[in-house]
Amino acid sequence: MGAGDASRQDVAQKLSQWVGVFESVTLHAAHQSVGTVAHTSAHSVSPVQVAALQAQCRQVQQTLVRAIEKPEAADTGARRGRHPLNQPEPPPAAEVDFAPYRQHYLDQQRSMKLMVGPLRNHLRQTLAQASPALRQLATLDAVWEQLLDGHGQKLLATVPVRLQRRFEHLRKLHTQPPAQDASLWRQPGGWLHGFNKELQAVLRAELDVRLEPVWGLMEAFSNAEQQSEQEG
């Protein structure tokens, strides 16, 4: 067995843990139904359409990245005044709590869901009008999203829990003798500053995961436009 065969088996094995009997029936029905929409009319894919969709995808990505990287938390900061890392005076170790960071993370997750979901649906609608092949892809993507979204959300919900464990470990490590000067916690090299960078990196990684299907649809649409130009 080659490396490629082993890799495919590994993916199939992991996928089988997420897709049960009911989901398999739903997926099979989707495969059977995609042929019924293959004979409807289709519109040619234009470079203008591709460029416009690419711009929308980049705008959503950049908006979410800016929200992740800005020093003030989106909603929590508005209510509390400032992101916990930007408080002017360092609080006692006992008052350094993970709660504001959890709320900030949940706010960013909510923003991702509210922005990426409609973008993905818009891409599917556009692809469905472009060609029979892209219409089939859009149909299957919608089914896969329906089947896997619940599992994915459960996994993503565990991320703040793991971050809390990391936060508590760092807090304990740097508040035990010889403890780090609390005035340095939020400065470069301080443990709170480092934790905030870790939190941002995890959020960016989650954003990449959420956008992966979007970029996949976008790539298919772009390839169809290039093929249309070659045939024309």
Residue 5 lies in a domain: no
Given a contact cutoff of 8 angstroms between Cβ atoms, the answer to whether 115 and 60 are in contact is: yes
Residue 108 lies in a domain: yes
Residue 13 lies in a domain: no
Distance separating the N- and C-terminal Cα atoms of the chain: 42
Residue 190 lies in a domain: yes
When divided into structural domains, the chain yields a total of: 1
pLDDT of residue 78: 33
Measured CA distances, 109 to 197, 206, 209, 219 (Å): 17, 8, 12, 25
Reading the chain (232 residues) residue by residue, the pLDDT tens digits are 555 555 555 655 555 555 554 455 454 555 555 555 544 445 567 888 899 999 999 999 999 999 999 865 433 333 344 455 455 454 555 568 899 999 999 999 999 999 999 999 999 999 998 888 899 999 999 988 988 888 889 999 999 999 999 999 999 998 888 877 888 888 899 999 999 999 999 999 999 999 999 999 999 999 987 876 666 5
pLDDT of residue 229: 65
Residue 30 lies in a domain: no
Q: Which of 73, 74, 88 is nearest to 196 (CA)?
A: 73
The C-alpha angle 78, 84, 88, rounded to 5 degrees, equals 100
Task: Read off the tokens for 170.
Answer: 């760092």
Residue 34 lies in a domain: no
Print the domain residue range for 100. 44-82+93-231
Residue 213 lies in a domain: yes
Residue 15 lies in a domain: no
pLDDT of residue 82: 46
